[in-house]
Amino acid sequence: MLLRSLHTTSKQIIRSTSTNKKSIGEFFSQHLSFPFLQYKDHLHVARAERQYIYDTAGKRYLDFFAGIVTVGVGHCHPKLIDAATKQMNKYWHLSTYYLQDTVRDYAEKLLEHFKDDTGLSVCLFVNSGSEANDLALHLAKEYTKQTEVISLRNSYHGVLQSTLCLTNIAGFKRPYLTGSRVAMNPDPYRGIWGGRHCRDSPVQTTRSCNCEKDQCQASDKYIEQLDELLSHEVSKKKVAGMWIESIQGYGGSVQFPKTYVKRATELVQQNGGLYIADEVQTGFGRTGTHFWGYQAHGAKPDIVVMAKSIANGFPFAAIVTRPEIAKTIGNYFNTYGGNPIGCAVASAVLDVIKEEKLQENTLKVGTHILQRLAKLRDQLPDVVGDVRGKGLLIGMEMVTDKESRKPFPIAKMNAILDRCRENGLLLGKGGNSGNVFRIKPPMCITMEDANFAMDVLEDAIRKEL
């Protein structure tokens, strides 16, 4: 009965989307601005369920990109639908001019995940990761009375005009951006320093490394470079803050030497700046070992930025900070910040992560995927340059040869993505050169899903060599 019901539903959806593929493609190109539409033949989605997406022809795909790392607990989770529906039957929107139980209850539940971080006790709600970083930028400048900020090369913190100064990927840069300083990216694979003992990951880069057990020479060098930046490019070494993704997302799942984040942020804090932890992609258990990515670094943020998985795709985001920082917000207002439906869904997300043990599943299945990819890298070292990540935040960097590490051609990356799609697997890509496969599925995937995905990806790569 269930299969028949799903089949009927799929047919009904297909019937209702009678506009043919060519006409909807033309409409998108002529009347909508979506420069990142993927695949040679665009994918026209009809519905989605947990880790699967179905197109208008009824074909099922295993979603290994999760709405760009957003659908953490799976598409259309019934508990989230129920939470949203119940709230919609009460009221949709009032704004924070009024007291609301839904907003208070979610804030209390979210702050439970910060009880071990001294002072992080105030929530501010917005609608997206870009907005959250914009608000964090506002607070950092107001609190410190400084204007300059630091972020890393290869970082992504949003594309608002304000946050573009923090984003350091070539395609997003604009000539009018000012007020930011860009620190060297401490990448153990592609950076100047780093090697096979540097990362907090089940899989290490194959580069040689002279580091001893408890001392990372690469981290030492990158910290020296950050100190030089503060000494030479910033007046009296004073900045408003430093933004760091716990693992770089759009930049290609780049991980840093183990001690770098803690030491870098302490250096900035010692000079009066704030550490802003960007957890938009790494938060809510996705790294497997910790609920927040910064916890694995042993670092102490002043502001934590979160979005994406926070409400599983419902437009919602937040920052958490200390009271004395929050008080500097001034005359600020966000019409949809703290939207009650968003709060209800976000609250249900926290419940599902705990009840279904998704963080634990993420670590188990993600480690298995990393190990499978590492074997593929060892078999194809001249095209698979690096495998990295934690949990279900995984990147595989493609190159033309092992020695030069020249980025793999975009045309071949796209051809591999198309082959995967033809065989029922959806992946993402990223990195400054677009040569990194981004493997970031819903956290509910199974070992069977993982093995299917790795088989499809390996077959696609081998056929394009």
Domains of the chain: 2-69+358-464 (3.90.1150.10), 82-355 (3.40.640.10)
pLDDT given at position 20: 55
Question: Starting from the edge strand earliest in sequence, which strands make up the sheet with 436-439, in order?
Answer: 384-390, 393-398, 436-439, 428-430
- Please report the beta strands in 20-128, taking only residues with DSSP state E, as ranges in sequence order: 45-49, 52-55, 60-63, 122-126
CA angle 439-366-349, nearest 5°? 85
pLDDT given at position 25: 73
**Which residues on adjacent β-strands are paired with residue 388?**
395
3-state secondary structure of 119: coil
List, run by run, the mean pLDDT of 10-residue segments along the chain (465 residues): 36 44 71 74 94 97 97 98 98 91 97 89 97 98 97 96 93 81 96 92 90 83 97 94 98 96 98 98 98 96 98 97 97 92 98 98 98 98 97 98 95 97 97 96 98 98 95
pLDDT given at position 91: 96
pLDDT given at position 34: 67
